[in-house]
Structure 1
Amino acid sequence: MRAAYAHAIPPSLQLPKSSPVASMTTPQLLVFATLFGALVLFVWGKWRYDVVGMLALLTLTLTGVVKGNDAFKGFSEPAVITVAAVLVISQALQKTGLVNVLVRGLGRVGNNMSVQVLAMCAVVALLSSIMNNVGALAIMLPVAITLANRAGRSASTLLMPLAFASLLGGMTTLIGTPPNLIISNLRRDLLGEAYNMFSFTPVGVAVAAAGVLYLAFLGWRLLPQRVSGENRADLYRMADYMTEVRLPESSPLAGQRVMDLGKVEGVQVVSLVRGESQRPFPTAFTVLQAGDVLIVEATAAKLTELVEDGQLTLVGNEKITPEQLASDDVTLAEVVVTALSPIVGQSAVSLRLRQRFNINLIAVSRQGQRLRERLVNAKFKAGDVLLVHGPRPSIDEALSTLGCLPLRERALDMVPAGQTRKMLLTGGIFLVAILAATVNLLPVAVSFTAAATLMLLLRLINLRDVYESIEWPILVLLATLIPVGAALSSTGGANLIAETILGLTDGWPVMAVLVVVMILTMNLSDIINNAAAALITAPIAIKIAQGLDANPDAFLIAVAVAASSAFLTPIGHQSNTLVMGPGGYKFSDYWKVGLPMEIIVVAVGAPMIALVWGLS
């Protein structure tokens, strides 16, 4: 599969083969200091990674390492445009119900755990090869929870394997994950030709197949059954944090509106009983009357204050159930906070959920345990599971704005009625785009952008969905770090690191050095965004290949595979973060399952790279 020009590296990019490493220049010191600072900020996590990427770019631009005219060229790179187009197409595939066709048969896989994991991981991996990894995982989360509950089994045995499978599937095609697009972009700059749609497939499929088999027959057994059905039901134990109070004739609250009670910090009115009728989620303008029974959510201190000031009578809460808070129009829903959600780091009181979105926050679960602290002051984290209450349309609208995903159980026969034509049209446009890119009729970025635009014009997806589907932080990160990665090469920094690695591995076989590059990239990807890991390590890998007189394609593919193998931590990839709360996982659970997975990736990936691409 290697092209005849595989070693035709431009002289300006070639690595000097003589002399020991020279002392670092000022531009190199600036690049290394900036990258080190960025790594520290990535791991710290206080600032989001797109902000860190912008700071790194501005630092190198203001110090003159990156020319001002080149600072924002990353935003026009084909890799960035392609990622945006693929995200839009992924949304269209979901909206029209096309991806649901692959999910419909999962309800009939039976209760054998290995078979369930195998079937679900295979579907997630397949979806991830053609759409956004997190999107593929989000589709499967409610299905996995449904199957686990049916079997009376912990969902924790399914969720992490699904997250890992979404990463494995992404490495099988050009559009499956941003690192593949970055590597293809770099190859175009280096050798004049980018990778095609299926250049990553032979190695990626072999690694993904081995990984899925490991997850199905061994990986899930290493996971704790930490979140049982009883633990999940803990969110719904209303009596733990809700109370019924009655307004007597003498209460000063009679004649006031529900919104007046909501002004008391830490108190929520979630239901109202008046005579024989019950009003789940009473409106803010509902006028309270003597004799009303309110179901309120409040801390013990706030409840005491409310009862005393309002001269209320405690009724008792032993009979409060989820059914009392639901109706045809009002429901309770579990949702999970995504890594890119704008509510991360904010509290319920700062978000003003009732006033802005017409929903109540009932409870929060973190790593499988319900938070006992006051909800109004609790700051949300990625992976938190929220129990929210309100009208169904309000909840659906709020989830889109708040960056949360539903965990509600749903039917497995999920193709929307009347969507067959749209589904087939969306699939047809997508297949034509893939074909056009594969046969080089159009560049990948142009092909997929045209497909996304056509889907919009044909009303297969609306304009709001287009903009909401694009993960802008990912695009900003890519666009800002592309010039930073170029600076690592242009200043000779990549040469310096490559010389150091070559010195440490002097006399080693090319295969052994390839394995070292994979391990270094995987370790970096475990602590920072995988796209950032690829942008940092790919220039170094090219220099190492040139220093060994080896095939640069082999080292580029190795970086692509390794950058998509963030299995040791919950922070290496959004998919890992997304399942942490619903699965009740601890940090240590990831490396217990992830370490054997990374060993498998190297053990299968390195020989496959040598077989498919050749090392020399």
Structure 2
Amino acid sequence: MPSDATLVFYLMGVAAIMMASNRVRYDLIALFVLVTLALSGILTPSEAVAGFGATIIIMVAGLFVVGEMLDRTGVARTVGDGILKFGRGQEVRLMIPLSVGAAILGSVMSSTAVVAIFIPIVMRIARDSGINAARLLLPMSFGALISGMLTLIGTPGNLAVSDALREATGQPLGFFSFSLVGALVLLGTVVFFVFVGRHMLGPLTADGTGLARRRDRSFAELYRSHGFEGVEVLRVTRDMRGEALGSLLAQAPRVLSRWRRGPGAGAQTALYNAGMELREGDLIVVTGDVAEIAAFARTPGLGHFRSFYEDMNRWIDTLGIMEVMIHPEAAIRGRTLADLGFRDRYGLEVLDLLRDATPMQEVQTVPLRGSDRLLVAGPWPKLDAINATGRDFVILEEPAERAQSVPNSHKLWIALIILLTMIAVSIGGLSITIAVILAAIAAVLTGTISTNQAYRSIRLETLVLIAGMLPLSTALDKTGGADMIVQGLLQLAGDDSPRAVLFALFALTMSLSWILSNTATLVLVAPIAVNAALSMGVSPLPMAIAVLIAGSAGFASPVSSPVVTLVVSPGGYKFVDFLKIGLPLTALVAAIVTFVVPALFPF
């Protein structure tokens, strides 16, 4: 055995052991592999670092930006809310649409892009439902991985298999030639996760108790803790201004905010003040005694719309509340809110002032003392800003819904247009890498995300992991190690049984896909599979489909595909997690390939 090939095999084994130990970060292992290949002379320095210039690295970086755009504009929240509504907080009802949706989308666009898009959606669902994200991310990721088994364009490697068939027989694969096999794998995978797999991915909740996660107090609960029993949204049914509006407000509970539909699909939310007029169709938030609000809602020109808490998504992005404490050494001690011109100075409304747990009646004229607690409302940027005003205020509590707010929700439709355009042009033939770069540029230019936010969204550890492992493919090819693996497995299977050769090809392709990229593996194995079938005098179609399915079956390795690697960090997975889940799934796919493929595509 050539010494260089031997070293590559040893290096692969050492890297696998280091990953299995879970004591060394995966990105550091990848750099160890890269440096070893360069120092040993197996690869030149340029070849060793070539992975950092690979198109997959650029694409993944761009997809992180697109994913951040979807999160900051509310697309992720909207999709997540839909899945949450369907799932009703039940893990299985959440997991199934995530897995199947990722598979379907990945069958017509980049599966890597699908996972990058779905990660913020899954994390938001996990946060809102209290379910451990690790029990949702891997099923979603595996669904996207299986997408390569559903259509001819599911993964670039499929085209290599089709080309090998066309060159040998003149008949390429059709768009849906093998979709039934992929659908069976997807069904088996979902069933496995429903009954077995999800229980192998840690506790149901992130805190490990298996109980509902303790959450911060909600918007409404925080209101009620300050004596505001009712928080309701009322609809204005006629225009009101001047004396009519003054008469209305004279009998009103506290009017906190007004929502008004703006031009097109836009909307405007603002703190209410006495100078604002009310128009038909406006919505207002009122707080106070429940009976008082109910009576006010029956006033001519008004009507009850719904509970503020039920209408949260309309308000949460622009209207927040926060409980703050006056710092014991604050410079504003002894001054009143009226003296400070608090509303004009900070752009916030003080709803309540507590002193030693006792509410003060004249909030605007009470001299402030250290440790007084204020309940303040207003735009989130204004709320955040008071924490940076020297030593005057200390933030005590934010509502649980703060995590759900998205700062650029008014640009949701722009983000959707960018996303759908990216998908459409990539399906239409434009390189997915170029499509992603254009989408990332459009995200910044349209203001859906800032340049600094775009750069901060890129996870360098994931890029280093992918780029550092890519040179292994080059090393195996350059040293002849890949050819040695191929020939050894084919000799072991023999040529008496087409089914045995088919299984050997499946095992070979799947094993190589744990190390090489999916595309590189299929480019390498597809011609061998076709030629092996022709030399045995049998149809090459089942052999070709077997290796195609195997190329998207890298369940047992965290570095088998960027589709899988992307979820390692957010899911907090260990190497052993992929073995526990991946090996049973691999056995399932092997059984389908060995027995179902020859039945559908006879030798």
User: Which TM-score tier does this pair reach, normalised by the shorter chain?
Assistant: 0.5 to 0.7
CA positional deviation for 1:485: 0.9
- Partner in structure 2 of residue 484 of structure 1: 472
Distance verdict in 2 for CA 1:189–1:228, change over 3 Å: closer
State the secondary structure of the residue aligned to 1:65.
coil
Q: 1:462 to 1:137 in 2, by over 3 A?
A: same
Contact 2:73 2:406 in 1 (8 A): yes
Specify the alignment match of 1:212 in structure 2: 190
1:548 aligned to 497, 511, 532, which one? 532
Structure 2 CA distance for aligned equivalents of residues 75 and 121 of structure 1: 30
Work out which of the residue numbers 452, 455, 460 in structure 1 matches 2:443: 455
Deviation string, structure 1 residues 135-180 (Cα, Å, up to 9, x no partner): 62453345346446xxxxxx46x85255323321244269x9xx95
Q: For each residue in 1:264-316, what CA deviation from the matched residue of structure 2 results, as whole angstroms up to 9, or x when unmatched?
A: xxxxxxxxxxxxxx977979x889xxxxxxxxxxxxxxxxxxxxxxxxxxxxx
Cα distance between partner residues in 2 of 1:102 and 1:32: 44
Q: Once the 2 structures are TM-superposed, how far is the Cα of residue 494 of structure 1 from its aligned partner?
A: 0.9
Q: Does 1:434 align with 2:423?
A: yes
Work out the CA distance in 2 between the residues paired with 1:493 and 1:487: 8
Alignment map for 1:120-269 (pairs within 5 Å)? 121-122=99-100, 129=111, 131=113, 133=115, 136-144=118-126, 146-147=128-129, 155=131, 160-172=135-147, 180=155, 183=157, 206-216=184-194, 219=197, 231=209
- Summarize deviations over 1:552-606 as a string: whole Å, max 9, x none: 864663343112465999xx8564675569xxxx998877766544444444567
Q: Which deviations, in whole Å up to 9, do the C-alpha atoms of 1:67-99 show, x marking residues without a partner?
A: 344343333332332222222222222222223
Matched, 1:468 2:430: no
Query: Aligned ranges for residues 361-400 of structure 1 at < 5 Å?
Result: 391=395
* 1:451-470: CA deviation from partner (whole Å, max 9, x where unpaired): 22222222222212222222
Q: Do the aligned partners of 2:134 and 2:201 also contact (CA within 8 Å) in 1? A: no
- Between Structure 1 and Structure 2, whose CA radius of gyration is higher? 2
**1:562 and 2:537 matched:** no
Residues 488/120 of structure 1: CA separation in 2 closer, same or farther (3 Å cut):
closer
- Secondary structure in 1 matching 2:209: helix
Structure 1 residue aligned with 2:310: none
What is the CA deviation profile of residues 211-258 of structure 1, one whole-angstrom value per residue up to 9, with x for unaligned ones? Answer: 224434665578887769993789979xxxxxxxxxxxxxxxxxxxxx
CA distance in 2, matches of 1:38, 1:607: 34
| CA deviation after TM superposition for structure 1 residue 204, in Å | 5.2
Which amino acid in 2 is paired with 1:208? L
Counterpart residue number, 1:51? 28
Q: Would you say the 8 A contact 1:53–1:477 is kept in 2?
A: yes
Give the letter for the 2:49 counterpart.
F
Query: Separation in 2 of the partners of 1:103 and 1:140?
Result: 7
Q: How does 1:449-598 map to 2 (within 5 A)?
A: 449-507=437-495, 509=497, 512-516=500-504, 518=506, 534=518, 541-542=525-526, 544-545=528-529, 548-549=532-533, 550=540, 554=545, 557-564=548-555, 566=557, 575=567, 578-579=570-571, 596-598=584-586
1:26 aligns with 2:3: yes
Contact 2:38 2:45 in 1 (8 A): yes
- Give the partner amino acid of 2:419: F
Measure, in 2, the Cα distance between the counterparts of 1:50 and 1:454: 30
- Sort the Cα spacing of 1:138 and 1:102 in 2 relative to 1 into closer, same or farther, 3 A: closer
Per the TM alignment, residue 424 of structure 1 is displaced from its structure 2 partner at its CA by: 2.3
Structure 1: which amino acid aligns with 2:456? E
Q: Distance in 2 between matches of 1:491 and 1:435?
A: 40
With over 3 angstroms needed to count, the CA separation of the structure-2 counterparts of 1:112 and 1:82, relative to structure 1, is closer
1:522 deviation in Å? 6.1
* Alignment-derived partner of residue 72 in structure 1: 49
Check conservation: 2:521, 2:551, Cα contact below 8 A: no
CA contact (8 A) 1:169 1:208 kept: no
Unaligned runs of 5+ in 2: 168-172, 216-322, 332-370, 378-386, 389-393, 534-539
Secondary structure of the residue aligned to 2:43 is coil
Distance 1:589 1:65 in 2: 32
Alignment-derived partner of residue 11 in structure 1:
none
Whole-angstrom distance in 1 between the partners of 2:70 and 2:38: 40
Alignment check: 8 A CA contact 1:558 1:606 kept: no
The answer (yes or no) to whether the contact 2:556–2:579 under 8 Å persists in 1 is: no
**Structure 1 pair 91–41 and aligned structure 2 pair: CA distance change class (3 A):** same
* 2:161–2:523 CA contact under 8 A, matched in 1: no
Is residue 164–residue 567 contact of structure 1 (8 Å, CA) maintained in 2? no
- Structure 1 residues without counterparts, runs of 5 or longer: 1-23, 149-154, 238-277, 288-323, 331-356, 359-389, 396-407
Could you say if the C-alpha distance between residues 483 and 580 of structure 1 is closer, same or farther in structure 2, counting changes exceeding 3 Å? closer
SS of 1:563's partner is coil
Q: Displacement, 1:437?
A: 2.5
**Separation in 2, partners of 1:437, 1:228:** 37
Tell me if the contact between 2:74 and 2:408 (Cα under 8 Å) persists in the aligned partners: no
The DSSP-based 3-state class of the residue aligned with 1:562 is: coil
- Is the contact made by 1:80 and 1:478 (CA closer than 8 Å) also made in structure 2? yes
Aligned 8 A contact 2:62 2:440 in 1 = yes
Q: How far is 1:497 from its partner?
A: 1.2
Q: CA deviation at 1:488?
A: 1.0
Q: 1:160 to 1:187 in 2, by over 3 A?
A: same
- In structure 2, what is the Cα distance between the partners aligned to 1:173 and 1:392? 49
Q: Which moved more, 1:463-472 or 1:602-611?
A: 602-611
Q: Aligned partners of 2:45, 2:559: CA distance in 1, in Å? A: 38
Aligned length: 424
Deviations 1:353-405 (A, max 9, x none): xxxx99xxxxxxxxxxxxxxxxxxxxxxxxxxxxxxx9599x9xxxxxxxxxx
- What is the SS of the residue equivalent to 1:231? coil
AA partner of residue 470 (structure 1)? I
Distance change >3 Å, CA 135–CA 509, structure 1 → 2: farther
**For the structure 1 residues 32 and 110, does the alpha-carbon distance in structure 2 shift closer, same or farther, using more than 3 Å as the test?**
closer
Partner Cα separation in structure 2 for residue 104 and residue 545 of structure 1: 46
- How far the C-alpha of 1:209 sits from its partner, in A, is 4.0
TM-score, normalised on structure 2? 0.54
Q: Could you say what secondary structure the match of 1:507 adopts?
A: coil
Residues 515-552 of structure 1, C-alpha deviations (whole Å, 9 max, x = no match): 45555676788xxxx67675896576457536625578
2:409 equivalent to 1:419: yes
The more displaced of 497-506 and 546-555 is 546-555
Deviation at 1:445, TM superposition (A): 1.8
How far is the alpha carbon of 1:496 from its aligned partner?
Answer: 0.9
The alpha-carbon distance between structure 1 residues 147 and 84, as it changes in their structure 2 partners (threshold 3 A), is closer
State the SS of the aligned residue for 2:440. helix
Q: For residue 319 of structure 1, what is the aligned residue in structure 2?
A: none
In the alignment, is the contact (CA less than 8 A) between 1:66 and 1:487 conserved in 2? yes
